[in-house]
Amino acid sequence: MKKGYTLIELLAVIVILSVIAAIAYPKIIDVIGSSKIKAYNVSKKNIVESAKLKYLADVNSLNVSEYKVVDLIDEGYIKNTAKNPLTNEKYTEDAKVLITNDNGNVSYSYVEGETLYDIVSKKNSEDGVYKEDLDYIYKGEDAQNYVSFNGEIYRILRIDSYRNAYILKDEKNKNININNIKSYINSYYNDNYSEKEKNEIVSFDILDYQSYLKSFNDDDSYILNNNDIWVNYNSQYKTLNCVTNKIEENSNANIRFVIKLKNDIIVRSGEGTQLNPYILGE
């Protein structure tokens, strides 16, 4: 006759199994999460390769071509059973590949979500947005163009034909002059941004004069103030009197620091207002 387990023995087994589960569960979750991320990265690479095939088959001269994943699936470039490995759901309309052709230099970016271009291109003059040639430009003092980047508030100046966003920051620094602008730009880049943020940036510069002029609407511009500012004018840094709009030579002035962002940065939240700016990031 076999002897049964006592209640204490059963409780001991349960406790031991619970301890083992508590130790093993996080590791199992980590393994599952890691495998999903690996599958996601492989999927992104395959999607980009599929977009390359379509791009080579197409004939166009656009600066930026956009191929949605759902369209690549419909056209047979991707299997119709394809799902997002992170969600195990079908790809949404926001999943796409941006193909940028910059004078023959072609680059490919996988994007999931709305970019600044996606948002700004839907706006009009009521929102302070005006289309000039292939650029979208914010004008007027009431432009709702606030954006959070690097933990600070910037204003969107324009979106160019390559969908790169130019964001503007006031740098009220009277010590900047013609002799130290370049060193200031270099120090700003090296000292103020993490590697992740630097990877989202194409370039730094001082506000260019043509962008300054294009920012006006009914004699109002959010760039305007009563102090001189530096501008990049004919490939040289010049002082601009904001009141008289007169270009001057060699003097100290305020800085309007402009950052050119890549065209594939996602807007995670926000409405572009001062109290609820666009939040950028992966």
**65 neighbors 101 (Cβ within 8 angstroms):** yes
The percentage of the chain sitting over the pLDDT mark of 70, rounded to a whole number, equals 90
Burial class for 186, CB neighbours closer than 10 Å (0-12, 13-18, 19+): exposed
Question: How far, CA to CA in Å, does 11 sit from each of 4, 20, 37, 65, 169?
Answer: 14, 14, 39, 64, 65
Is the pLDDT at 33 greater than 70, yes or no?
no
- Side-chain half-sphere of 266: how many Cα atoms within 13 Å? 14
pLDDT digits (tens, 9 = 90+) for 169-182: 877 776 788 888 88
pLDDT at 241: 87
Mean pLDDT confidence for 241-267: 87
Taking 90 as the threshold, does the pLDDT of residue 159 lie above it? yes
pLDDT of residue 223: 87
With tokens 């950028």, the residue in question is 280
Beta-bridge mates of residue 231: 238
pLDDT digits (tens, 9 = 90+) for 96-118: 999 999 888 999 999 999 999 99
DSSP label at residue 61: -
The owner of tokens 């900047």 is 176
Q: What is the mean pLDDT of the chain?
A: 85
Q: Which of 7-11, 203-207, 270-274 has the lowest mean pLDDT?
A: 7-11
Strands 135-138 and 129-132: antiparallel
**What does the alpha-carbon distance between residue 213 and residue 149 come to, in Å, rounded to a whole number?**
25
Other Cβ atoms within 10 Å of 121 Cβ, number: 13
pLDDT of residue 30: 55
Q: Are 172 and 155 in contact (CB under 8 A)?
A: no
Question: Residue 5 has what pLDDT?
Answer: 61
pLDDT exceeds 90 at position 44: no
Tokens 């630097």 — which residue? 198
* Sequence-separated (6 or more) residues with CB below 8 Å from residue 149: 167, 197, 259, 261, 280
Domain residue limits, the chain: 7-112, 116-280
Alpha helices in 80-138 (DSSP H): 116-120
Task: Give me the pLDDT at residue 26, please.
Answer: 65
196 vs 112, higher pLDDT: 112
What's the confidence (pLDDT) of residue 248?
82
Decide which of 77 and 251 is more confident. Answer: 77
Strand 105-112 to strand 95-102: parallel, antiparallel, or no bridges (unpaired)?
Answer: antiparallel
pLDDT of 107 reads 92
Q: Is the pLDDT of residue 29 over 60?
A: no
pTM attached to this predicted model: 0.83
Closest CA to 117 of 65, 161, 151, 52: 161
User: How far apart are alpha carbons 267 and 47 in whole angstroms?
Assistant: 22
- Cβ–Cβ under 8 Å, residues 258 and 238: no
- For the stretch 62-88, pLDDT in tens is 899 999 999 999 999 988 888 888 788
